Structure 1
Amino acid sequence: MTTQNVTIPASSGGMFSAYLAAPSTQPRAGIVLIQEVLGVNAIMRQTADNYAKEGYQVLVPDLYWRLEPGVQLDPEDKDQFAKAFELDRAFDVDSGIEDLKATLLFLRQYPSSTGKVGSVGFCSGGKLAYFMATRTDADANVSYYGVGIEKYLAEATKIQKPLLLHMGEEDEYVSPTAQATIQQGLKDNPLVTICRYAGVSHGFSRVGSTAYRQAAAELAHDRTLAFLRQHLG
């Protein structure tokens, strides 16, 4: 496996950086890995490395580059966690989706790519993974504890490729009402699979954090890998 930082041209002008983790095998399907509110921090880079070890070419774009390039925040530091939410409030979702489309194109055209590229997103990135399903032609998309999806269920009619949603039943940022709304809104869509995990809260797959819950995280990861292998190869 190799890692490097690459630069991607934005459709609106300018350039943004991304962390690339690539396996030694070829050819490779790709994953656009979408950051939490914490930026492209050590946890996201480790997650990218783990997927690369499974044979995927993984690219983690710096979606905060218009606000503050290179953000890397620690979820266990209260001040840094507060800054993460400030950045998230200032973040322009539509611009972020354009950057994700550019990242998707970059991966599809990258040497040794199979052309198959999906996305995996966490937290705010989980919502963006939902938008990858409704607003792009990514081949498969996975959302971990996506925040705010219930507000955008009208877009579900645009889903053309498989979407997997992981939700912790005790998620403090996605209420039981919101989860019920999401389930009700998506239950008749054959492209959508929803997995809920009892007794776990937001961030249950965030390795090294107090929110991490090993059993649920490993089950979700196994389901994600099976889903990606089915739809990306």
Structure 2
Amino acid sequence: MKEQSTQIPQEAFDWYDDYAHGGMDRRDFMKKLTTLVALGYSMTTLTSALLPNYALAEQVSFNDDDIIASYQEFDSPQGHGKGRGYLVKPTTKKNTYPVVLVIHENRGLNPYVKDVARRLAKQGFIAFAPDALFPVGGYPGNDDDGRAMQRKLDRGKIQHDFVAAANFLKSQPYSNGKLGAVGFCFGGYMVNYLAAVDSKLLTAGVPFYGTPATKELRKNIKASMMIQLGELDERVNKSWPEYEQDLKAQNVDYQMYMYKNAKHGFHNDSTARYDKENAELAWQRTTAFFKEKLT
């Protein structure tokens, strides 16, 4: 897939990023892609590279003998009232486990993010991946509809739902009391937000290409943070210098990794933005960080 990625101009990925984050509608996005068709690229090649194929993303089967998965609901009185998420546990028998909240992109709980939760369970964590779209029926099966649905939801209530999910997971009897969170894009922002909104909530956070919480909240950050950024992700990266200044000012235990030639979404193995070498390195660092901080 990466070979296919290198055949497509970077501007196409920039357009997709703009489209995926509300900067243009689908009609304008497709119109821009037709300009590349005129240069000899087929629309099939372009769309298959830019749009997700979730059959490619499964690394851990839901039938894997080392894990057990279920859906669990939780109360969210300040959010949408009720939330639901995908809970994955190791089948090993222990009294308590380190627990990690897994937060999806801006389109609901898609198969890639569920697989990330299973990957964590294979590593000995209990992972819980909430679906922000549960109040409106859940992830609809495709990203375009999911993105439109999430955009219509009240952002403040979504944030309360993830705070409620974090407290739900942290307070479970199998939790060792130390909560980690990992998220991607919107989910990366949510990790930064959870670290900032309540200094006692997270022990460790790993935001992948996520923007920071509002400046006035950052003074609350006490969690250890591992910031994962792609070199070509100009939209998110421009927020990093100021964020780093605030982390330093608060004496936060943080580390940042900038992955060379990596695009926004480089960890998502369902699209051509996926960068296998950088994604695997980032994931190794993530799980090692969680093992150090949560166990």
Shared fold per TM-score greater than 0.5: yes
Contact 2:187 2:207 in 1 (8 A): yes
Match for residue 125 of structure 2 among 36, 56, 64: 56
TM (norm. structure 1) is 0.87
Percent sequence identity over aligned pairs? 28
> Alpha carbons of 1:91 and 1:183: their partners in 2 closer, same or farther (altered >3 Å)?
farther
Q: Which residue of 1 aligns with 2:173?
A: 111
Q: CA-to-partner distance for each residue in 1:25-66, whole Å, 9 max, x for gaps? A: 322111111111121111011100000000111111111233
Q: Which residue of 1 aligns with 2:137?
A: 69
Gaps of 5+ in 2: 1-66
Contact 2:88 2:128 in 1 (8 A): yes
> Alpha carbons of 1:168 and 1:153: their partners in 2 closer, same or farther (altered >3 Å)?
farther
* Number of residue pairs matched by the alignment: 223
2:134 aligned counterpart, secondary structure: coil
Paired residues for 1:79-98 under 5 Å: 80-81=143-144, 83-98=145-160
> Alpha carbons of 1:116 and 1:179: their partners in 2 closer, same or farther (altered >3 Å)?
closer
Match for residue 186 of structure 2 among 112, 124, 135: 124
Q: CA deviation at 1:178?
A: 2.9
1:182 paired to 2:233: no
Contact 2:183 2:191 in 1 (8 A): yes
| Letter matched to residue 222 of structure 2 | Q
Q: CA deviation at 1:73?
A: 4.9
Select between 111-120 and 193-202 the one with higher mean Cα deviation.
111-120
Q: CA deviation at 1:140?
A: 1.0
Q: CA deviation at 1:94?
A: 2.4
TM (norm. structure 2) is 0.70
Higher helix share: 2
Contact 1:120 1:142 in 2 (8 A): yes
Contact 1:39 1:73 in 2 (8 A): no
Q: Which residue of 2 aligns with 1:77?
A: none
Contact 2:76 2:161 in 1 (8 A): yes
Select between 51-60 and 86-95 the one with higher mean Cα deviation.
86-95
Q: Which residue of 1 aligns with 2:222?
A: 160
Work out the CA distance in 2 between the residues paired with 1:91 and 1:22: 30
Work out the CA distance in 2 between the residues paired with 1:84 and 1:203: 17
Q: Which residue of 2 aligns with 1:139?
A: 203
Contact 1:19 1:60 in 2 (8 A): yes
Work out the CA distance in 1 between the residues paired with 2:238 and 2:170: 38
Contact 2:108 2:147 in 1 (8 A): no
Higher-Rg structure is 2
